[in-house]
Chain A
Amino acid sequence: SQELEQSPQSLIVQEGKNLTINCTSSKTLYGLYWYKQKYGEGLIFLMMLQKGGEEKSHEKITAKLDEKKQQSSLHITASQPSHAGIYLCGADINQFYFGTGTSLTVIP
């Protein structure tokens, strides 16, 4: 079983469209990380959320940790081809776990 479940598993959107990726945990999260994965470059750290209800933004990417601290969402506004990649959430729950990943394709 996965400690962190992501949905959807893959996403194909037209450039300019908004999209949301979800990360759900069965346990309370005390720190939730979002990463973008690009082949050959290693993971890219996007942002970290710690407090319930916390919301952070970086350029056109916004992430939020719900008040119960068991789910986080990543929202991309006006998607661009440069947003394409695999998005991973991660959390330290006794050991560090990554989510199942969401593959994003943005069609120009």
Chain B
Amino acid sequence: GAGVSQSPSNKVTEKGKDVELRCDPISGHTALYWYRQSLGQGLEFLIYFQGNSAPDKSGLPSDRFSAERTGGSVSTLTIQRTQQEDSAVYLCASSSTTGGTGGGTQYFGPGTRLTVL
């Protein structure tokens, strides 16, 4: 079946521009995560959506970063006034809410490689 998809796969932008990154989770998955993978560093948690609950925004690095999840499905990560340090691979993951073996496993999308010039 279809996995998590992200678009665009690559994005090159100029410093100061705004960018939007899109994530389509696996159908039926209520949990959605955004991460950032910077060169030479571990995966950095950004934000977590669970159903209709208020998202956990504790990982967002600054107020230039925001994310929405419409209708409990598609999510958009927006970075305003991009800076060079925002260059990274942005990964999205989704998971189901069921517990037990395999439940809660995060399935990752292919990522969006963002380059800020």
Contacts and interface: CB of A to CB of B under 8 A. Distances in A.
Interface of A: 10, 31, 33, 35, 37, 39-40, 42-43, 45-48, 50, 86, 90, 92, 95-96, 98, 101, 103
B42 A40 contact: no
Interface of B: 9, 31, 33, 35, 37, 39-45, 48, 50, 59, 89, 91, 95, 99, 101-106, 108, 110-111, 113
Q: Please indicate which of the listed interface residues B35, B43, B44, B111 has the most CB atoms of chain A within 10 Å of its own CB.
A: B43
A31 B40 contact: yes
Contact of B37 (A40, A86, A96): A96
5 contacts: A39-B99, A42-B33, A50-B40, A95-B110, A95-B113
A48 B40 contact: yes
Given A92-B89, A95-B110, A43 B35 contact: yes
A98 B40 contact: no
B94 to A, nearest CB: 12
A40 B93 CA distance: 12
